[in-house]
Amino acid sequence: MDGAVLVLNANFEPINVCSTRRALGLVMSGKASLVMNGRGEVHTVSHSYPCPSIIRLERMIKRQRPTVRLTKREILRRDNFTCQYCGQHVTFLTIDHVIPRRLGGQHLWTNLVAACPPCNHRKGGRTLEQAQMRLLRTPGEPPASAFYLFSRHLAENQEWVPFVEGW
């Protein structure tokens, strides 16, 4: 009942991921319809209901375009869990300010990168030129596309790909 279910707007735009329990509640109340059943059935005492994988809301929901929140997890995900100075995949990464905060560096997508502890320590509170280091890639804000936002669920839900790729 805690499996992920893709929620589509009335125009088939992916807008959210909810639990199976929530999706069944929306379908039973008539607020959503079942688009794809990829997980069998849920049995109650007197009925059996298809277990949804994708549902579509009956009414159009107006909302702002999604943005990717600036968090440590999203910075690591954007940088593919790779140190941006030496290129190593390390289990423990830190976040480094390209222009140190003490020199006026902002807490922005363009100033934050993933770094392994030795590289972060080596750079310290200096600029790239002072530390004689360079970045593998120029940091920037990741795209707020549906594919990027819902990609962590796509490994176990391949049936979502046609609905997520176009947006």
Same domain (yes/no): 104, 123: yes
- Hey, which bits of 26-155 come out as E strands? 32-36, 41-43, 48-50, 54-57, 94-97, 112-115
pLDDT digits (tens, 9 = 90+) for 112-152: 999 999 999 999 999 999 999 999 999 999 888 888 888 88
pLDDT at residue 165 tops 90: no
Cβ-contact 19, 2 below 8 angstroms: yes
Does residue 85 sit within a domain? yes
Structural domain boundaries, residue 58: 4-65+149-165
Rounded to an integer, the average pLDDT of 45-50 is 86
Confidence of residue 167 (pLDDT cuts 50, 70, 90): low
Same domain (yes/no): 119, 76: yes
Does residue 138 sit within a domain? no
Same domain (yes/no): 24, 42: yes
Predicted structure pTM score: 0.72
Cβ-contact 29, 59 below 8 angstroms: no
Rounded to an integer, the average pLDDT of 56-72 is 90
Same domain (yes/no): 52, 97: no
pLDDT of res. 143: 85
Euclidean distance between CA atoms 124 and 25, whole angstroms: 52
Confidence of residue 66 (pLDDT cuts 50, 70, 90): confident
pLDDT of res. 163: 83
Does residue 159 sit within a domain? yes
Of the candidates 166, 163, 160, the residue with the CA atom closest to the CA atom of residue 39: 160
Q: Which residue's entry shows tokens 């979502």?
A: 160
Does residue 23 sit within a domain? yes
pLDDT digits (tens, 9 = 90+) for 78-106: 999 999 999 999 889 999 999 999 999 99
